[in-house]
Amino acid sequence: MSLLVLGTVALDDIQTSNGVKQDLLGGSASHFAMSASLFSEVHLVGVVGKDFPKRHFKLFDLKRINVESVQIKEGKTFHWVGQYDARDWNRAVTLETQLGVLDGYEPCITEEQARMKYVFLANDDPEVQMTLLKKMKKPRFVGMDSMNLWIELKKDALLRLIKCVDLFVANDSEAKMLTGELNLIKAARELRKLGPRFVVIKKGEHGVIFFCDRFLFSFPAYPIDRVIDPTGAGDTFAGGLMGYLARTGTLTCDNFKRACLYGTTCSSFNVEGYGVSKTAPLTLADVHARLRKLDKFIKPV
Amino acid sequence: MSLLVLGTVALDDIQTSNGVKQDLLGGSASHFAMSASLFSEVHLVGVVGKDFPKRHFKLFDLKRINVESVQIKEGKTFHWVGQYDARDWNRAVTLETQLGVLDGYEPCITEEQARMKYVFLANDDPEVQMTLLKKMKKPRFVGMDSMNLWIELKKDALLRLIKCVDLFVANDSEAKMLTGELNLIKAARELRKLGPRFVVIKKGEHGVIFFCDRFLFSFPAYPIDRVIDPTGAGDTFAGGLMGYLARTGTLTCDNFKRACLYGTTCSSFNVEGYGVSKTAPLTLADVHARLRKLDKFIKPV
């Protein structure tokens, strides 16, 4: 089943203790699409500037990611400059943000895309996310992600959007910030009251917790001893999760577990390299090989 | 199989957002013994002052915890005043420490105890831990725990001790502090180089990771939506782990997994009440009931 993802397509500059990299392919939709495209046909919705390097379009093409609804506008591609401290890879420090063509962007999709059943609203302005969602005709399953910036700047718009989705994917600090609850289990419960039937809390190196009315489960992250750049790990996780759901189409406990394990596995590759350098060349065989190790790592007995 | 534990027996004052409690039964050995005694015959080695309330001895008696090597000395019982911020239950803030009879304490054990096969050196002065260990005659399996204080004050003595044990149980910040490694997987590897064949890193609400040369595994913590007092959660975990190992006696991957799951389950009860209020009345049936839920919560598919 096809999967439509709206989100940012960015050029990232990343500074870590491992060094500095510039103009990496980044953005929530790019990272999401890298892993989701392993499982499903992915249609990317977003905007870039005229400066967007052709090699990145080539990569999308190579990954069979449909970019017909990626607008190319006069101006500069959204640019993010971020920094990580190796003592806390879970927290990115934003040094600079240049919105560029994101400013005033309105998503447009084709008739065919509007009828797609699986939709993910990757981190973006919640008003832009809502605009896209309103263009969808009876989607079967809608997931979304956001970030602290939107909780601060556009909380009302964000809450309106959350009410309309099936799955809300948040990291632990966002979940606490949005609900005012310090306990994650309570925070997830509050998030579900805002609308979504399904909530996933991402905890970076500590893994994920999944909540719905019938079950909850938790998996640790795959153990990585050399983190290079965690940018996009959460988007990569969501891509694996949604890609697997769109491929399999069932909303059972076991299927959500499998989806989260695929997401966890994909994101473990993401953090091992800058940008999409480790997720772009990934094959399903790579993912399965690591998933088998992950299964062993977390299986009770 | 009998299990000998050396550690502190304390009176704790605990301040949290839930309120203040005074003169709670605390200390590493007390918390450890509460869970370990569910699985094995536990012999406690420590010291208290004349002020130590009789009701606490009655509790040890009720739990069939052998206290013949708990010395009662002139002076005051070790007293700890600690505080937690609900935003970070993983970090206790020490407001006051009165060593009391701990000062100058030398552990003494019986001939029978010296021949016990399973030993745990719960958090205590590493020189005191070493004194006890030297009195043991061919133990089969020795585990230990420590804390940041001893890494700061007596690192050399601590390193000498770590070299002699089979299992080192540390929390994440201690593991990083002791090894200088910011990545937990690397830190655990470095800890194993210091001597212990087995290393467990405790991550509080995020669960545990187990390391040895043949396998590694990780489990999330049991989801608790109302933390009251996490004091002793790590000791309670270690008690469940060691108690189960002493009971079953095999060092296979599956047995270590089971042992860690028992430890995880016991510690989840610990945080739901002040001091030992939730672990003291625990039965194996309670533990098994929650363990079944934990299994469901963490099982891959």
pLDDT of residue B90 exceeding 90, the answer is no
Contact B122, B238 (CB under 8 A): yes
Please list every residue in chain A whose beta carbon sits closer than 8 Å to the beta carbon of residue B205: 184
Nearest by CB to A297, which of B206, B217, B254?
Answer: B217
β-pair type (B141-145, A216-219): unpaired
Is ipTM beyond 0.90? yes
β-pair type (B66-73, B79-85): unpaired
A254: nearest CA partner in chain B: B301
The helix (H) or strand (E) run that includes residue A138 is none
Q: Output A250-256 pairs: Cβ under 8 A, ≥24 positions apart.
A: A251/A141, A253/A214, A253/A215, A253/A217, A254/B301, A256/A198, A256/A210, A256/A212, A256/A217
Contact B205, B222 (CB under 8 A): no
Q: Which two tokens stand for residue B46?
A: 């420590």
Question: Is the CB of A261 less than 8 angstroms away from the CB of B217?
Answer: no
* Residue B42 β-bridge partners: B3
How many Cβ atoms sit within 10 Å of the Cβ of residue A50?
11
From CA B31, how far away is CA B46, in angstroms rounded? Answer: 13
Choose among B291, B203, B218, B283: nearest CA to B35.
B283
Please list every residue in chain A whose beta carbon sits closer than 8 Å to the beta carbon of residue B300: 219, 257, 261, 294-295, 298-299
Q: What is the pLDDT of residues B189-203, one digit of tens each?
A: 999 999 999 999 999
Determine what percent of chain B is predicted with pLDDT higher than 70. Answer: 100
A258: nearest CA partner in chain B: B301
User: Quick one: pLDDT at residue A18?
Assistant: 85
Question: Is the CB of B299 less than 8 angstroms away from the CB of A301?
Answer: no
Please list every residue in chain B whose beta carbon sits closer than 8 Å to the beta carbon of residue A172: none
From CA A289, how far away is CA A270, in angstroms rounded? Answer: 16
Question: Is the CB of B301 less than 8 angstroms away from the CB of A254?
Answer: yes
Q: Using the 8-state DSSP alphabet, how is residue B204 labeled?
A: G
B263 — alpha (psi -120 to 50), left (phi > 0) or beta? Answer: alpha
Q: Which two tokens stand for residue A235?
A: 């988007």
301 residues of chain A, pLDDT tens digit each: 899 999 999 999 999 988 999 999 999 999 999 999 999 999 999 999 999 999 999 999 999 999 999 999 999 999 999 999 988 888 899 999 999 999 999 999 999 999 999 999 999 999 999 999 999 999 999 999 999 999 999 999 999 999 999 999 999 999 999 999 999 999 999 999 999 999 999 999 999 999 999 999 999 999 999 999 999 999 999 999 999 999 999 999 999 999 999 999 999 999 999 999 999 999 999 999 999 999 999 999 8
Matching residue, tokens 């905890």: A203
Contact A47, A128 (CB under 8 A): no
pTM, 2 dp:
0.95
Residues with Cβ within 8 Å of B76's Cβ and at least 6 positions away in sequence, in order, are B49, B51, B98, B100, B101
A186: nearest CA partner in chain B: B225
Please list every residue in chain A whose beta carbon sits closer than 8 Å to the beta carbon of residue B184: 205
Contact B13, B81 (CB under 8 A): yes
Let me know the angle formed at the C-alpha of B7 by B178 and B273, rounded to the nearest 5 degrees.
Answer: 95
Please list every residue in chain A whose beta carbon sits closer than 8 Å to the beta carbon of residue B185: 223-225
Q: Which two tokens stand for residue B73?
A: 């000395």
Residues with Cβ within 8 Å of B87's Cβ and at least 6 positions away in sequence, in order, are A182
Question: Is the CB of B299 less than 8 angstroms away from the CB of A296?
Answer: no
Choose among A15, A238, A6, A203: nearest CA to A124.
A6
Choose among B81, B92, B4: nearest CA to B43.
B4
Please list every residue in chain A whose beta carbon sits closer than 8 Å to the beta carbon of residue B86: 182-183
**Residues B278-283, mean pLDDT to the nearest whole number:** 98
Rg (CA), chain B: 18
User: Quick one: pLDDT at residue B235?
Assistant: 98
How many Cβ atoms sit within 10 Å of the Cβ of residue A61?
11
B255: nearest CA partner in chain A: A301
